[in-house]
Amino acid sequence: MARRPSPPRSAASSQEVTDEQLDAYIRTRLALAGVDLSVLPDDDEDAPADQRRIMASARRFLRSTPGAIADFEFDPMGPAPAIYPAEVSAWNRG
């Protein structure tokens, strides 16, 4: 089984991650998943998707979302997390 690459260091770490580092990480992860961005146009605003927009979106995601997920604190003494909290609250009504 191929080893997955580690994500680049977050912006909160001691050094800022460059676009080039993120691009290499993104392209490697996509290649491991069998996705080839080279079949898309480089930069075409009339196309539904192009390499420039996909890479920019992936960089924004990696710079924001993983930090929020890593910072999430689960309260082990609190209620169990639920996929559909509204349904759980309906079950708990007395």
Asked if residue 19 belongs to a domain, the reply is yes
User: Residue 46 has which token pair?
Assistant: 């009339």
Q: What is the pTM of this model?
A: 0.61
Judge whether 84 lies within some domain.
no
Mean pLDDT score, 27-54: 95
Asked, for residue 55, whether it belongs to a domain, the answer is yes
In a domain, 89, yes or no: no
Q: How many domains does the chain have?
A: 1
Query: Within a domain: residue 21?
Result: yes
Residue 71 lies in a domain: yes
Q: Is residue 94 part of a domain?
A: no
Buried b (16+ CB within 10 A) or exposed e, 34-48: eeebeebeeeeeeee
pLDDT tens sequence across 56-70: 999 999 998 888 777
Report the C-alpha gap between 28 and 86 in whole angstroms. 39
